[in-house]
Structure 1
């Protein structure tokens, strides 16, 4: 089975534009919530929580500098995107954003879909 990789921002990061304030990514937090509901999803993927500052070397190496927006799933070779892929970089398909990732989780793993 191909290994799909989910990239999330690690919580509790600082942004120099807002001194003294700690942050989390709300879109990544939503995906973290889905993983807590359905831990079987995280068990069959590589889940990487990376630091906030750019460039995000691990992401850039796989999908290029223009595709650092997280959350992001980089699909393993031959993995079915179920029509959810949002881009391709050097032959690697990826799904960017919480909505596409949630749809893909539902299609790929048979879990519930978000309520409209």
Structure 2
């Protein structure tokens, strides 16, 4: 199993206005910079309405914000990155920490 990266699908509707998630867009931009990183992940776009399956299935309904990186196993220690645990899964939840984790573990430049 590969690490799973969950982002919100752009162009979602909320109360009659179309939106995109700027945090998910930042992660997608990182993957555009470094397509070799994208090849190591399972990228999953989520619809905006909750529950956001399959993310909520993995981590529980209280952990379905995006972006979220669900690790294959425990992952590794990366400076300035906090790994969280829920339902027996390990994940990274803050956007910059996701970018840092991916950069360090995939050998590409880290965010400044």
Same fold (TM over 0.5): yes
Match of 1:111 in 2: 108
Q: Is the 8 A contact 1:11 1:24 kept in 2?
A: yes
Contact 1:73 1:96 in 2 (8 A): yes
Q: Which runs of 5+ in 1 are unaligned?
A: none
Output one character per residue of 1:51-94: Cα deviation in whole Å (capped at 9) or x when no partner. 11111121111011111110000001253253534410122100
Q: Which runs of 4+ in 1 moved over 4 A?
A: none
TM-score norm. by structure 2 comes to 0.91
CA RMSD of aligned residues (A): 1.4
Counterpart of 1:87 in structure 2 is: 84
**Which whole-Å CA distance do the structure 2 matches of 1:105 and 1:112 have between them?**
10
Match of 1:6 in 2: 5
Bigger helix share:
1
TM-score of the pair, normalised by structure 1: 0.88
Could you tell which deviates more after superposition, 82-91 or 27-36? 82-91
Where structure 2 has 5 or more consecutive residues not aligned to the other structure, the ranges are: none
